[in-house]
Amino acid sequence: MSIVREPLLKLEKITKRFKSLTAVNGVNLEVASGEKLVIIGPSGSGKSTLLRSINLLEEIDEGTIRFEGVEVGYVTRHGKRHLDRPQAISTLRAEIGMVFQHFHLFPHMTVLGNVMEGPLTVQRKPTDEARSIATDMLAKVGLSDKSNVFPATLSGGQKQRVAIARALAMRPKLMLFDEPTSALDPELVGEVFDTIHTLADEGMTMIIVTHHMGFARELADRVIFMESGNFLAQGRPEELFSAAQGNERIKLFLNRLL
């Protein structure tokens, strides 16, 4: 008898509007534990808004978010939807880490201090434990030798790896990457992708928004093409990139990148 596993993340009819613009248009999505999902599509297609909605940085207008089978993020009071309590949202964000295009490191803190901050302030861990976690995460991203320097002394690739270590320090079950290499010089892209590959090899569940099609091909279990707030196509990389040759919209998009 086969066991049907609950998806780690399930989105149902997620809709996000900005005044007259519908940025995400009623999308449904299931992400299995351990899956590597890549979302591609033109700028303004809703990719980043969708990631920010999952992490509750954007408040959705309609739909439900389920994490480990439990509806999260919102409560209904007097017939109206409201964001959940700040403590509940912080707890969820500890389990759904997010890495942005621009690193958002604290410039007045050392690299070690940046990575320790989440365990210290959100999870209320003792200083020694937070330091141990941060040290381990910096080793994971290959930056043990930078723990006592400040972000201003780092390259863009190093800053992004610190941002990844900071998210990992919360021990998340899902990682969201919003175009993690778009702000980097081309020669620095590889070191960030190598770090993401290592996490993938370790079984981390992740959703990645990227314009790097080669990376999408080699890493993704599934690729989704998004445009105008909708999922136009999805499948395994080899399926989607092959089928795209018969879809003029996706073909045009890929030809501009490849």
Among 123, 103, 126, CA closest to 181: 103
Comparing 1-5, 18-22, 119-123, 171-175, which segment has the lowest mean pLDDT?
A: 1-5
- Is the pTM higher than 0.85? The answer reads yes
CB atoms within 10 A of CB 30: 14
Q: What does the block give as tokens for 77? A: 């009071």
Query: Pairing relation of β-strands 96-99 and 174-178?
Result: parallel
pLDDT at residue 102, rounded to an integer: 84
Tell me the C-alpha distance between 49 and 17, whole Å.
10
pLDDT at residue 135, rounded to an integer: 96
DSSP 115-149: HHHHHHHTS---HHHHHHHHHHHHHHTT-GGGTTS
Share of the chain above pLDDT 90, in %: 72
Q: Residue 2 pLDDT more than 70? A: no
Provide the mean pLDDT of the chain: 91
Q: Which residues lie below 8 Å from residue 73, measured CB to CB, with a gap of 6+? A: 56, 65, 83, 84, 89, 92
Q: Residue 105 pLDDT more than 70? A: yes
User: For 33-81, how does the pLDDT look when each residue is reduced to its tens digit (9 = 90+)?
Assistant: 999 999 999 989 999 999 999 999 999 999 999 999 999 999 988 888 8
Q: Residue 209 pLDDT more than 70? A: yes
pLDDT at residue 219, rounded to an integer: 93
Q: Residue 161 pLDDT more than 90? A: yes
Contacts 24+ apart (CB under 8 A), 254-258: 254/213, 257/211, 257/213, 258/213
Q: Residue 143 pLDDT more than 90? A: yes
pLDDT at residue 138, rounded to an integer: 95
- pLDDT grade, residue 245 (50/70/90)? low
Tell me the C-alpha distance between 72 and 14, whole Å.
13
pLDDT at residue 243, rounded to an integer: 66
Q: Residue 1 pLDDT more than 60? A: no
Q: Quickly name the fold that domain 9-257 has.
A: Rossmann fold (3.40.50)
Average pLDDT over residues 195-213: 93
Q: Residue 244 pLDDT more than 70? A: no
Q: Where do the structural domains in the chain lie, given as residue ranges?
A: 9-257
Choice between 127 and 243, residue whose per-residue pLDDT is larger = 127
